[in-house]
């Protein structure tokens, strides 16, 4: 049967509640066959059913994460894109394509009334389970093309939905026309002053140029080559802006997401072209491809800096968050320039950092609780977490010098020269005390006092982001963290060809500044880092198989039992630490 072969459309008020699933259905409504796999989604449902805390910021659910699909549905951060928006809590919200309810949960906790729609019966059931204690959330199962909406919603969301219109909405017409029909239907659900919120990948996003497979097809360069085969489609900024205008949305504001809208950590506003704000300082790299191995055609950090300085970064953002309205009187653009969201932490450490103007300043606020200092201790580490407002520093982060050094013949000498400048800055914070092995302690110093947080400003190095203060922490441990995170992990792909053993390489670098440093001390610092991460993190990040090692393994492991595959994955992760 054709996906649109139903006489007339059905109002949500005509749907009937299924007593068992607590999901609303209609006998004439058409379902869709979309899934991340029955086994994967069954695992997600089981995790939700067996967890007491199923809230948006649940630290219990993230402990169930074992791979990319489970992280996508259970991980913290899917609602980041909404946390940067100024939306009224009294709003009535329509969510299209609610999936397994990760965003629905946030909407239900935040807004007065939520109607969530998904075409998959099993996904609708999972969403209902995720929101089982939220009486303000109703879940409907239907292909959206079958529904007639009333203009009663303050907000309509289509997060990761528009690109699938050519597949599930109307496959008989041209892909752009299918997306247009969907947008017009969403517009019909909005009040005159209502807002449409769209999350979608950028067809020409930087990560696609650098070698990341297209998010929907898994093919390299697929969107850049204008999708040769039928399937989901995305758009460039100009294309989707034109599409929205043609659908009747005259007031449009773009926000630009990195690494993407799914788990956005950095979101840039549409104020100007960004030149002069050093936007590249705010974006974390590399852009990893979840579950699919990828190559890196160039260094993404250096490319971001080039685009930022040319005023072109927004055009090549990996994803868009779009706010659109048919009401021209509404002000949609935010007053801030850029925001960074840190949520893969325990609740008391979750923060949003904002670059504001008039005057230029950086403001860090907690997402949960008050902005008073928080003090915690674990296994010998006592930290004081601070938020507040500081002066904005003009200049590039020191870490960009590391990125450049990797492409020089004498790359190791270049890195040592950079580390010498950093070491000299670090010694200013030495206290008169030493630890039991004779290593100097630092006075009250931020544990993130690294080249990733040092700005080259007016012939000086200025530390920014003073967030985690630790008193009497060994200097070599902070130095170790600098190398681990700012040299090795963010440049992993390019260092693989240069070094064989990561630990040996780190020890070699540190010995140039702390001559007594050895394997035993290195192991001690690694344990200290594990203690710090346990103190602040809610769980481990998703399993990501990036690069050449997995690509060599994939074909040979297909015939192995699942338990053996999982064991090999564990070994692989240990090898690349």
HEC sequence for 19-82: CCCCCEECCCCCCCCCCCCHHHHHHHHHHHHCCCCCCCCCCCHHHHCCCHHHHHHHCCCCCHHH
Mean pLDDT for all residues in the chain: 90
| pLDDT, position 341 | 97
Q: Which residue has the higher pLDDT, 374 or 549?
A: 374
| Residue-wise pLDDT tens digits, 38-60 | 999 999 999 999 999 999 999 99
> In the predicted model, what is the mean pLDDT of residues 373-385?
83
The one-character DSSP state at 214 is P
Crossing angle of helices 175-188 and 237-246, in 10° steps, is: 50
Residue spans of beta strands (DSSP E) within 380-497: 381-385, 388-391, 396-397, 430-434, 440-442, 445-446, 454-457, 460-463, 468-470, 473-474
Q: Regarding beta strands 153-159 and 147-148, do their DSSP bridges make them parallel or antiparallel, or are they unpaired?
A: unpaired
In 232-325, alpha helices (H): 237-246, 300-309
124: nearest Cα among 164, 163, 153, 95: 95
Using alpha carbons, select from 342, 269, 358 the residue that is nearest to residue 85.
269
Cα gap 396→309, rounded to integer Å: 11
For residue range 466-485, what is the model confidence (pLDDT) as tens digits?
899 987 899 999 999 999 99
Q: Among all chains, which residue has been given the structure tokens 């010998």?
A: 380
Residue 538's contacts (CB-CB under 8 Å, 6 or more residues apart) are 59, 62, 76, 344, 345, 346
pLDDT at 542 over 50: no
Token pair of 144 as six digits: 């959206």
Residue with the larger pLDDT of the pair 479 and 383: 479
What's the CA gap between 348 and 341, in Å, rounded?
14
User: Could you tell me if residue 265 is left (phi over 0), alpha (psi between -120 and 50 degrees) or otherwise beta?
Assistant: alpha
Question: Can you give the pLDDT at residue 244?
Answer: 98
Q: How far is CA 278 from CA 55, 273, 281, 354, 415, in A?
A: 36, 11, 6, 13, 23
- End-to-end CA, the chain: 51
Q: Is the dihedral of CA 24, 29, 32, 33 positive or negative?
A: positive
CB atoms within 10 A of CB 346: 18
Buried b (16+ CB within 10 A) or exposed e, 200-232: bbbbbbbbbebbbbbbbeeebebbeeebeeebb
Long-range contacts for 211-215 (Cβ within 8 Å, ≥24 apart)? 211/294, 211/295, 211/296, 211/297, 212/287, 212/289, 212/294, 213/289, 213/292, 213/294, 215/260
Tens of pLDDT, residues 395-426: 999 999 999 999 999 999 999 999 999 999 99
Q: CB–CB of 187/240 below 8 Å?
A: no
Q: Is pLDDT of 329 > 60?
A: yes
CB distance 299 to 494 below 8 Å: yes
Length of the chain: 577
The span from the CA of 424 to the CA of 250, in Å, is 55
Quote the pLDDT of residue 498: 93
HSE on the CB side for 92, CA within 13 Å?
11
Quick one: pLDDT band at residue 328, thresholds 50, 70, 90?
A: very high
Let me know if 339 is exposed, middle or buried by CB neighbors in 10 A (0-12, 13-18, 19+): buried
∠ CA 64-66-70, nearest 5°, is: 75
Is pLDDT above 90 for 536?
no
**pLDDT of 565 higher than 90:** no
Angle at alpha carbon of residue 22, lines to 17 and 28, rounded to 5°: 40
Mean pLDDT of all residues in 490-496: 93
Q: What tokens appear for 44 in the block?
A: 């997600």
Q: Do 139 and 124 contact (CB within 8 A), yes or no?
A: yes
pLDDT above 50 (res 392): yes
What tokens does 1 get?
């049967």
Buried b (16+ CB within 10 A) or exposed e, 403-421: bebbeeeebbebbbebbee
Written as six digits, the tokens of 196 are 């449409």
Model confidence at 566, pLDDT cuts 50, 70, 90, reads: low
């Amino acid at each position: 049967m054709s996906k649109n072969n139903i006489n007339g459309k059905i109002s949500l008020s005509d749907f009937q509640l299924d007593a068992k699933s607590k999901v609303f259905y209609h006998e004439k409504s058409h379902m869709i066959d979309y899934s991340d796999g029955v086994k994967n989604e069954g695992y997600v449902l089981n995790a939700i059913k067996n967890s007491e805390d199923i809230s948006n910021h649940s630290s219990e659910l993230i402990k169930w994460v074992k791979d990319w699909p489970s992280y996508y549905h259970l991980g913290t951060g899917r609602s980041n894109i909404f946390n940067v928006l100024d939306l009224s809590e009294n709003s009535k919200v329509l969510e299209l394509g609610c999936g397994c309810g990760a965003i629905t949960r946030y909407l239900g906790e935040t807004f007065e009334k939520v109607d969530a729609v998904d075409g998959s019966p099993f996904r609708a059931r999972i969403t209902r389970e995720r929101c089982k204690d939220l009486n303000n959330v109703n879940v409907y199962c239907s292909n959206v093309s079958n529904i007639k909406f009333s203009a009663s919603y303050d907000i309509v969301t289509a997060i990761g939905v528009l690109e699938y219109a050519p597949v599930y909405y109307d496959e008989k017409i041209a892909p752009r026309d299918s997306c247009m029909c969907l947008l017009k239907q969403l517009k019909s659900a909005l009040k005159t002053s209502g807002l449409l919120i769209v999350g979608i990948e950028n067809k020409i996003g930087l990560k696609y140029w650098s070698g990341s497979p297209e998010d929907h097809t898994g093919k390299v360069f697929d969107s850049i080559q204008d999708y040769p085969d039928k399937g989901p489609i995305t758009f460039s900024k100009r294309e989707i802006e034109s599409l929205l205008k043609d659908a009747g949305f005259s007031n449009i504001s773009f926000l630009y997401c990195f690494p993407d809208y799914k788990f956005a950590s950095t979101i840039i506003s549409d104020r100007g072209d960004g030149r002069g704000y050093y936007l590249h300082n705010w974006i974390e790299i590399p852009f990893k491809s979840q579950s699919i191995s990828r190559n890196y055609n160039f260094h993404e950090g250096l490319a971001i800096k080039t685009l930022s300085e040319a005023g072109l970064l927004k055009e090549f953002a990996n994803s868009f968050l779009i706010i659109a309205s048919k009401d021209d009187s509404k002000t949609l653009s935010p007053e801030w320039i850029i925001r960074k969201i840190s949520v893969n932490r325990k609740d008391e450490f979750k923060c949003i950092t904002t670059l504001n103007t008039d005057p230029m300043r950086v403001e860090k606020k907690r997402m949960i609780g008050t902005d008073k200092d928080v003090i915690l201790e674990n296994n010998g580490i006592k930290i004081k977490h601070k938020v507040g407002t500081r002066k904005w520093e003009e200049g590039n982060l020191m870490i960009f010098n590391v990125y450049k050094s990797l492409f020089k013949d004498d790359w190791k000498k270049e890195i040592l020269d950079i580390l010498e400048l950093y070491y000299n800055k670090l010694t200013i914070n030495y206290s008169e005390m030493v630890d039991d092995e004779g290593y100097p302690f630092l006075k009250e110093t931020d544990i993130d006092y690294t080249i990733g947080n040092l700005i080259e400003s007016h012939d000086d190095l200025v530390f920014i982001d003073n967030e985690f203060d630790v008193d009497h922490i060994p200097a070599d441990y902070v130095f170790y963290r600098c190398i681990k995170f700012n040299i090795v992990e963010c440049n992993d792909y390019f260092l693989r060809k240069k070094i064989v053993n990561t630990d040996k390489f780190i020890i070699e670098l540190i010995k140039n500044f702390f001559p007594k440093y050895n394997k035993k001390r290195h192991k001690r610092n690694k344990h200290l880092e594990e203690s710090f991460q346990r103190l602040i993190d809610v769980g481990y990040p998703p399993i990501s198989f990036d690069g050449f090692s997995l690509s060599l393994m994939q074909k040979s492991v297909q015939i192995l039992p699942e338990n053996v595959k999982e064991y090999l994955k564990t070994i692989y992760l240990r090898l690349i630490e």
